[in-house]
Amino acid sequence: MQGTPGTRIAWPQTFAAMRREKLRAEHLRFVREGPRGGVLHCFVLDCSGSMLAGQRLALAKGLLIALFDRASAARAEAALVCFGGDRADLRFGPAVPRWWNERWLRPVGGGGGTPFASGVRKAAQLLERTARRKPAQQRWLWILTDGRSSDQPARPLDADEVVFVDFEREAIRLGRCVALADAWGATRVTPEELIG
């Protein structure tokens, strides 16, 4: 585990790793510190008709509850943009999710087309506003989708990190999440990898 300039050594964990050996670089453990300006997790949820197949939207909503709980525990801000049909809407935040629960997320429904570019544009506008207000804040963009859209929007400039959560389950896959993640220099994960 490597440290970066300005990080502090976690001595109890370092001593535990050393046991009775002499101190070596691989024994060093560091205190995890969040960014000084805080963190914003902007979630973009695909609510299109294709996400209704195979309970994908239900799985995505359950995963969102867990991710919002993690954000709340870390005192990070969160925001939720939903896109489906012919529109994209900001449904929550940005704020620290103190009251987030299943009852709030249950009414988020699905159906219709996949205005992926609209969802990304709405998230990009939010990230741009927060970047002006809180320039030291670290901004994560999470896109939860099955990639069933031909839209190819540009990567939002104010997203420090981008994660595609790929819900594609078809036997014949289009691989659009993989392609976009590659094009954007983003991470691509499956829901199961986040849950596990």
Q: How far apart are CA 140 and CA 93, in angstroms?
A: 14
pLDDT given at position 73: 86
Band of residue 110 on the pLDDT scale cut at 50, 70, 90: confident
Instruction: With beta carbons less than 8 A apart as the criterion, state whether 176 and 152 touch.
Output: no
Q: How far apart are CA 93 and CA 95, in angstroms?
A: 5
State the chain's mean pLDDT as an integer: 85
Give CATH 3.40.50.410 domain extents, the chain: 39-195
Q: 149-152 — which CB contacts under 8 Å span 24+ positions? A: 149/48, 149/114, 149/115, 149/116, 149/117, 149/176, 151/114, 151/115, 151/116, 151/117, 151/120, 152/117, 152/180, 152/183
Topology annotation, domain 39-195: Rossmann fold (3.40.50)
Judge whether residue 189 has pLDDT over 70: yes
Q: Provide the whole-model pTM.
A: 0.79
Q: How far apart are CA 174 and CA 169, in angstroms?
A: 10
- pLDDT digits over 18-61, tens only? 777 888 888 777 766 555 679 999 999 999 999 998 899 999 99
